[in-house]
Amino acid sequence: MLLIDSDAEILDPNVVRTMKTAMDDDRVFGCGFSHGPAWLDERHGVGTGVGYYPERMWMSLTMLRVSHIREALAAGESFNVDTQLKDARPSGRISRQWNQSLSLRPVAEWALPWSKRFKKAYSGQEPDYMYYDTGARIYQFLRHQKALHFVGLPAEVFHGRYVGHYHGVTRSTLNAHDTNCATLDEVSREIEERLQQVYGYRL
Tens digits of per-residue pLDDT, 80-135? 999 988 655 445 555 555 555 554 444 444 444 445 545 567 777 788 889 999 99
127 contacts 52 by C-beta, under 8 angstroms? yes
In this structure, what are the phi and psi dihedrals at residue 169, rounded to the nearest 5 degrees?
A: -60, -45
- Expressed as residue numbers, the domain containing 138 is 2-165
pLDDT at 110: 45
On whether residue 172 sits in a domain, the answer given is no
131 contacts 38 by C-beta, under 8 angstroms? no
For the chain, the first-to-last Cα distance in angstroms comes to: 31
On whether residue 31 sits in a domain, the answer given is yes
Average pLDDT over residues 55-80: 97
State percent of the chain over pLDDT 70. Answer: 79
**pLDDT mean across residues, the chain:** 82
What is the number of domains present in the chain?
Answer: 1
Average pLDDT over residues 30-36: 97
On whether residue 179 sits in a domain, the answer given is no
C-beta neighbour count of 169 within 10 angstroms: 22
Cβ neighbors of 21 (< 8 A, separation 6 or more) are none
On whether residue 77 sits in a domain, the answer given is yes
On whether residue 175 sits in a domain, the answer given is no
Sheet holding 38-39, edge to edge: 38-39, 51-53, 129-132, 82-85
pLDDT at 73: 98
180 contacts 168 by C-beta, under 8 angstroms? yes
On whether residue 192 sits in a domain, the answer given is no
On whether residue 121 sits in a domain, the answer given is yes
On whether residue 98 sits in a domain, the answer given is yes
More reliable by pLDDT, 166 or 72: 72
Using omega within 30 degrees of 0 as the cis cutoff, is the peptide bond preceding 37 cis? yes
Cα–Cα distance between 203 and 81 in angstroms, integer? Answer: 36
More reliable by pLDDT, 179 or 90: 179
Cβ neighbors of 91 (< 8 A, separation 6 or more) are 118
pLDDT at 158: 93
